[in-house]
Amino acid sequence: MFILPDLPYDYNALEPYIDETTMRLHHNKHHQGYVDKLNTALDDDEELLNMPIEKLLANLDRIPDGNRQAVINNGGGHANHSFFWQIMHPAKANSGDIAKPSGILIDAIDETFGNFETFKNKFNEKALGVFGSGWAFLIKNKEGKLQLKKHSFQNSPLMRSCTPILGIDVWEHAYYLKYQNRRSDYIENWWNVVNWEKVSQIFAKTS
């Protein structure tokens, strides 16, 4: 059985950038819904129910045809949200400046995109450019290179043997209560709560 992971912080911890009501609904209702529907789609198959989500999404050919799309949608939703909660944390008080990655991650970003500002602008463009519901990701691809990707719906980078390093949920459920149609304001504010220590660790582990 897949279970909803606890948030690594309180529901109000990302205020004022992401509001408490959005976080409660997003975690308790949306993410819980993906977990419940994933368990249903795996249809009492004990082996699949006990597989790590990364392995399940990398082995979709093991899923019966009639259930595969439900596993893509809800397994992807479970993996994407579990990742998303981890790569955020409360904004540092009085910092003003948006924190930045460190170590080998900043070196790889500089090498791939030129500098952090260029990377951030390109990431924002991807996130703004998602048509409808989806995500923008910084991923490490099979060749070990950093790339920016738009993903529709809950399609997970793990399905394509890519490792998510950073990602933003741009489904309206992630921001509409506070930001309404202003997705660009949500994206810009979200940078304040990116947990670069965690993101840098995730990248280092893949290297």
Q: Which of residues 150-189 bind Mn ion (CB under 5 A)?
A: 169, 171, 174
Question: In the sheet that 146-152 helps form, which strands lie side by side, from edge to edge?
Answer: 146-152, 134-140, 163-169
Residue 56 or 169: the one with the smaller Cβ distance to Mn ion is 169
Residue 146 or 169: the one with the smaller Cβ distance to Mn ion is 169
The H-or-E segment that residue 105 falls in is helix 103-113
| CB 199 to Mn ion: min, Å | 18
| CB 170 to Mn ion: min, Å | 9
C-beta nearest to Mn ion: residue: 169
| CB 82 to Mn ion: min, Å | 11
Residue 171 or 203: the one with the smaller Cβ distance to Mn ion is 171
Q: How far apart are CA 136 and CA 163, in angstroms?
A: 13
56 counts as binding Mn ion under rule CB under 5 A: no
Residue 15 or 172: the one with the smaller Cβ distance to Mn ion is 172
83 counts as binding Mn ion under rule CB under 5 A: no
Report in angstroms the alpha-carbon separations of 73 from 82, 143, 191, 197.
Answer: 14, 26, 26, 29
Decide if 116 contacts 99 (C-beta within 8 A). Answer: no
**Torsion (CA) 188, 189, 195, 196 in degrees, nearest 10:** 30
Q: Which residues bind Mn ion (CB under 5 A)?
A: 169, 171, 174
